[in-house]
Structure 1
Amino acid sequence: MFDQDTLQTRVIPNRRNLRWCRSVLVVAIALSTVAQARDEAPPRTAPATAAIASANALATEAGFETLAQGGNAVDAAIAVATSLSVVQPEASGLGGGFLALIHDAATGKDTFIDAREMAPQAVSEADYLNADGTPNRDTSLNGPLAAGIPGMPAGLAYMAEKYGKLPLAVSLRPAIRLADEGFHPSGALVRSIERKADVLRRYPASTGKFFPGGNVPQESALFRDPGQGATLKAMAERGADGFYKGPVAQEMVKAVKAAGGTWTLADLASYRAKERAPIELDYAGYKVITAPPPSSGGVAVAEMLNILAPIDLKAMDEAHRIHYLVEAMRRAFRDHNEYLGDPDFVKMPLDMLLSPYYADGLRQSILPDRATKSEWLPSVAAKDPGMHTTHYSIIDQDGNMVSMTATVNTTLGSGFVAGDSGVLLNNEMDDFALVAGQPNAFGLIGGSANAAVGGKRMLSSMTPSFVVGTDRLAVIGSPGGSTIITQVFGAILAFIDGKDAGQITAQKRIHHQFMPDRVDIEQGSDVPADVLSKLVEMGYEINDADTWGNMNVVVWDRARNVKTAASDPRNPNGLGKVEAVP
């Protein structure tokens, strides 16, 4: 049905490719702006368009290539996900997992795909403790003990079979081509390899993959990944079984055990992607559709929006607006730490947490002119949040939508490549509360609800979301560790305030996560000095934080049938693009 030759494209150096892609993006946005400026909607004969925003131009182009072959938004998401596994391994990949929202235009159904990693059956707290009983940060973050059983391959195969239009093998072709023929690595990938060189060089397969010829790869040279290419081909032939059973699974388990890990073939064979009902709520005349547990993000975002629902933020001066935003964040993160975990293992009071009546009580505890202080609530010490993951937003020509966030946790995950499979494993075990009362790499502290148990999925901050109004809708998400939640929260408010995709991704960010008790305000923020002074007078500690996040947003003005896509301007490799699709 599909001619292999029609799917071949040239491998273009990143910089040249980006220049070309940016010019297309500028034209697309300019045309969209013209259309928005007209009083009348464009004619019904206007070509159908699709919009994709991802963290890498090659991945965005892979998505459009798959749409051109007759695929829908789900097929495009699979192409984007697997291409990012090749070209952006520092952020996501086959050895990690994802959470995704899908909207089916034909039925109007919204659903949530849980492809989060899970703990191997032999997980033991002792593996993550030093001799003196303190947390062993090395085993929880580096090497095979840090890796949960990957969920991405199973999730992609499930999505293709149930919601895609194309065979999985067709959607995998761009990634296979990139792995086999090579690509020019981004500066971000090169810097990530340099920063994690000590860990990568511990393991022969990691050294072989990330140090071709024994050296850090250069942006000017082609980077190939034949091991992962072979694994992708096994998936193309056998679906999820090509990863979780047979030679690939055997090679991964052999490599993990040889390096001191505990994976078994039974762990891999038992993994299943799960379909769950998303969280839905109404805010300011818009429907917000977001991620349920094992994401903590959707619950936290819903709780924050419910707290703010009766408050007229627009009528406030900027200092008081930030004050109420921060206090909503504080209370939501407090509940995040206390209650949330894998819904298949933990009974959570979601009816309470998502109730507007519960939010009423939390709102009453906010002082109008004074910071609450987290120490007035049950508190624990935490460290600075870190960030790495990736997100892509897609609307196809028929109105199907995917909001998908994927991760290997911290940069380059565990640093462990599982033998000849070429699969870089995650370090998601650190997202469990491995040691009670101790923070993970993102400064988040969990209780028994997020304790590690064999077969259990660790809590995640990933928050893929849709925001749907009468005439406008948005597909939103971002990486950023614990800041994902507040980034998506801020993006939802910005969209409802009328901002476009570019403005949403570019806006400066504010974050509070209960502990540490401080307000992180992104460097270069346009918050005026007098506003900062007022916040300090209210009792806030203000931290001038490094930039964070890598948001990708698609907005659809349905009244004018105009789509716009934007990638975070903090990331020079990203591409948000709108294109006519036959």
Structure 2
Amino acid sequence: MKPVRTWAVAILLPLLLSLLAPALAGVPSSPPVIAAHPPGAAIASGHALATEAGLQILRAGGNAFDAAVTVSATLSVVEPISSGLGGGGFFLLHDARTGKDVFLDARETSPEAATPARFLDAAGALDRNRSENGPWSAGIPGLPAALVELAHKYGKLPLATTLAPAIRIARDGFPVYARMESGYGERRAVMERYPGTRAVFLADGHPPKVGETFRQPDLARTLQAIADKGFDGFYRGPVADRLLAGVRAEGGKWTAAELAGYRIREREPLRFLYHQWTITTAPPPSSGGVALAEILQMASGWDLRALDPAHRVHILVEAMRRAYRDRTIHLGDPDFVRVPVARLASADYAAGLRASINPDKATPSSLLPGQPAPLEDNETTHFSIIDRDGNRVSATQTINLLYGSGLVAPGTGVLLNDEMDDFALKPGTPNAFGVMGFAANAPKPGKRMLSSMAPTFMESPDKVAILGSPGGSRIITEVLLGILGYDDGLTAQQVTQVPRFHHQWLPDVISAENGALDPATVKALQAMGHTVNAGEAPWGNMQTVEWDKRGNTLSGGSDPRNPVGKAAVLPQP
């Protein structure tokens, strides 16, 4: 992979335009032709089988929302390391017929029994084993409800059709890939505690091996129950009974009422302007949209393209620092706490924060640094879809850490999430991703934990881009750099290759992929007072599609950091 340096593009694009200017000076101007509909459809997802399954549904007459059901369910089968029916997600939708954008919140919810005291050890410290592993770490899943909502309210095809590819792949199997094998190795000690998990992942007598066929017959039957009975196929009846029994057998406590009472929340997306782009993105309980609005509006006070690499990174890092501080203090589930979204996302608020940025010197973070934030390159997944009518989906779904809680409820094939760790279980104590929280993100019955997932649309007068990525607390900065890549004129594939760097207030360090920052830039940043870790392994898995209305072309980009992902364009028949 040869990453694209955005500052290189910033230098070359103006130079190219200046060279072309004399030749264009004598050409009569005419209004650009802007296409009303895309010339086909495009899908980018974290696994080729999911992308191909989505294209199959589009060929069968489905729309982007039908394809989203198929891609989401297929990813739940082929990426157990990243997401699944036992987790949740966010779905950002654009209905081309009405012009309406809507945000489907399928985030997991806290069980009533999961009080903060349940996650403390005898000394009053956070019990990380309980918050990250097994039944107590799992929230009530939301993804199955999202599949039903998408199909019934927005799709054209029945669930029996859109879930058929995922059911077939779960039943017949798919080849194990390297991330599955290595991830199992990291989580093996936890996963093999539970008989339901052993029945799935040790079915052949040994852990998954690259190239072997991995089959999940119980998961196929659970998907079939959803296809047959919709919401009740998962949240009531035999599947629900098995989920409850599986959690109870390992010492946890869910109730039938909590499962049956789960509901999707339909929310108004967050919108703001950056240069010529309208950015439509995730509202709380995601912190992603608010943080993006803060960072980009702070950064808009500088011409980033005109800055040298070190100052460009410095300005963005200072904006990241301030946005992540606000994330920690203010954000939570808006159904339970008052989140000052309008103020935090306003241009005036950003201007006030911008005024506190010294353009040549780092601002030390307020508190003592915590532990370095672990990577989440193998966890969570994202897909982007646009259809021939212009309907769009940007969706990010997860079970949190590698293989979630590690617990498969026997007889269901459902690997449960460990999203309870995303709550502030002990105020002021960092979670698995090194981010902290306080009262706004404390668990309460039915409450949704704060997330960084940031499915996003970008729209200018002549372009539409759909993007998102996994990455834990780094999702926000990955999407940020993707937005800046599109703003710099990069193609969809180039956007996925942009080198990544990150700052999240605490720990007070710039993290960067190996090679993302050259030695001179690192030295200049250090001279400004930054601590820089410039040698980290690559992270993230961006999936994006772009519609160029002026040329009426579609393109997709799939992150080369993930070799099993795929972006594909389906031409207009």
TM over 0.5: yes
Counting matched residue pairs gives 541
Q: Does residue 210 of structure 1 match 2:206?
A: no
Tell me the SS of whatever aligns to 1:140.
helix
Q: Of the candidates 153, 165, 169, which is equivalent to residue 144 of structure 2? A: 153
| 1:207–1:214 contact (8 Å) kept in structure 2 | no
Shift of 1:580: 2.1
| In 2: Cα distance, 1:334 partner to 1:517 partner | 11
1:6 alignment partner in structure 2: none
Shift of 1:348: 1.2
Tell me the SS of whatever aligns to 1:369.
coil
Q: Does residue 244 of structure 1 match 2:235?
A: yes
2:22 alignment partner in structure 1: none
Inter-CA distance 286–489: structure 2 relative to 1 (3 Å threshold): same
Q: Does residue 60 of structure 1 match 2:21?
A: no
Question: Which amino acid in the other structure matches residue 426 of structure 2?
Answer: V
Shift of 1:385: 3.1
Question: Which amino acid in the other structure matches residue 398 of structure 1?
Answer: D
Deviations 1:330-372 (A, max 9, x none): 0000000000000000101112101111111111110121001
| In 1: Cα distance, 2:566 partner to 2:199 partner | 30
Segment of structure 1 superposing worse, 240-249 or 354-363: 354-363
Q: Structure 1: which 5+ runs fail to align? A: 1-38
| In 1: Cα distance, 2:393 partner to 2:466 partner | 7
Deviations 1:399-445 (A, max 9, x none): 11100000000110000001101100000000000011101101110
Q: Of the candidates 386, 394, 415, which is equivalent to residue 375 of structure 2? A: 386
| In 2: Cα distance, 1:346 partner to 1:580 partner | 46
| 2:329–2:440 contact (8 Å) kept in structure 1 | yes
Task: Note the 1:535-550 alignment, pairs <5 A.
Answer: 535-543=525-533, 544-550=535-541
Deviations 1:457-509 (A, max 9, x none): 00000000001011111101000000000000111111011111111001100
Shift of 1:382: 4.2
Shift of 1:383: 3.7
Q: Of the candidates 438, 446, 449, which is equivalent to residue 455 of structure 1? A: 446
Question: Which amino acid in the other structure matches residue 375 of structure 2?
Answer: G
| In 1: Cα distance, 2:70 partner to 2:262 partner | 22
Tell me the SS of whatever aligns to 1:443.
coil
| 2:37–2:388 contact (8 Å) kept in structure 1 | no
Deviations 1:161-189 (A, max 9, x none): 11111112211000000011111121211
Q: Does residue 402 of structure 1 match 2:393?
A: yes
1:257 alignment partner in structure 2: 248
Task: Note the 1:81-480 alignment, pairs <5 A.
Answer: 81-374=72-365, 377-378=366-367, 381-387=370-376, 388-480=379-471
| In 1: Cα distance, 2:209 partner to 2:523 partner | 45
Question: Which amino acid in the other structure matches residue 495 of structure 1?
Answer: Y
Tell me the SS of whatever aligns to 1:515.
coil
Q: Of the candidates 519, 538, 546, which is equivalent to residue 529 of structure 1? A: 519
Shift of 1:218: 2.4
Tell me the SS of whatever aligns to 2:73.
helix
Inter-CA distance 219–380: structure 2 relative to 1 (3 Å threshold): closer
> Scaled by the length of structure 2, what TM-score is found?
0.92
Question: Which amino acid in the other structure matches residue 246 of structure 2?
Answer: A
Inter-CA distance 360–242: structure 2 relative to 1 (3 Å threshold): same
Inter-CA distance 352–42: structure 2 relative to 1 (3 Å threshold): closer
1:553 alignment partner in structure 2: 544
| 1:382–1:438 contact (8 Å) kept in structure 2 | no
Could you list the structure 1 runs, at least 4 aligned residues long, displaced by more than 3 angstroms after superposition.
Answer: 39-48
Inter-CA distance 136–558: structure 2 relative to 1 (3 Å threshold): same
| 1:203–1:417 contact (8 Å) kept in structure 2 | yes
2:561 alignment partner in structure 1: 570
Tell me the SS of whatever aligns to 2:175.
coil
| 2:53–2:71 contact (8 Å) kept in structure 1 | yes
Percentage of identical aligned residues: 51
Question: Which amino acid in the other structure matches residue 450 of structure 1?
Answer: N
Shift of 1:49: 1.7
Segment of structure 1 superposing worse, 116-125 or 143-152: 116-125
Inter-CA distance 168–197: structure 2 relative to 1 (3 Å threshold): same
Question: Which amino acid in the other structure matches residue 228 of structure 1?
Answer: L
Question: Which amino acid in the other structure matches residue 174 of structure 1?
Answer: P
| In 2: Cα distance, 1:211 partner to 1:427 partner | 21
Q: Structure 2: which 5+ runs fail to align? A: 1-26
1:485 alignment partner in structure 2: 476
| In 2: Cα distance, 1:327 partner to 1:292 partner | 22
Question: Which amino acid in the other structure matches residue 472 of structure 1?
Answer: K
| In 2: Cα distance, 1:304 partner to 1:519 partner | 15
| 1:382–1:445 contact (8 Å) kept in structure 2 | no
Tell me the SS of whatever aligns to 1:214.
coil
Question: Which amino acid in the other structure matches residue 337 of structure 1?
Answer: T
Tell me the SS of whatever aligns to 1:103.
strand
RMSD of equivalent CA atoms: 1.8
| In 1: Cα distance, 2:564 partner to 2:35 partner | 34
| 1:147–1:426 contact (8 Å) kept in structure 2 | yes
Shift of 1:67: 0.7
Shift of 1:244: 0.2
| In 2: Cα distance, 1:189 partner to 1:528 partner | 32
Shift of 1:52: 0.5
| 2:380–2:470 contact (8 Å) kept in structure 1 | yes
Deviations 1:226-249 (A, max 9, x none): 011000000001101100000000
Shift of 1:70: 0.9
> Scaled by the length of structure 1, what TM-score is found?
0.91
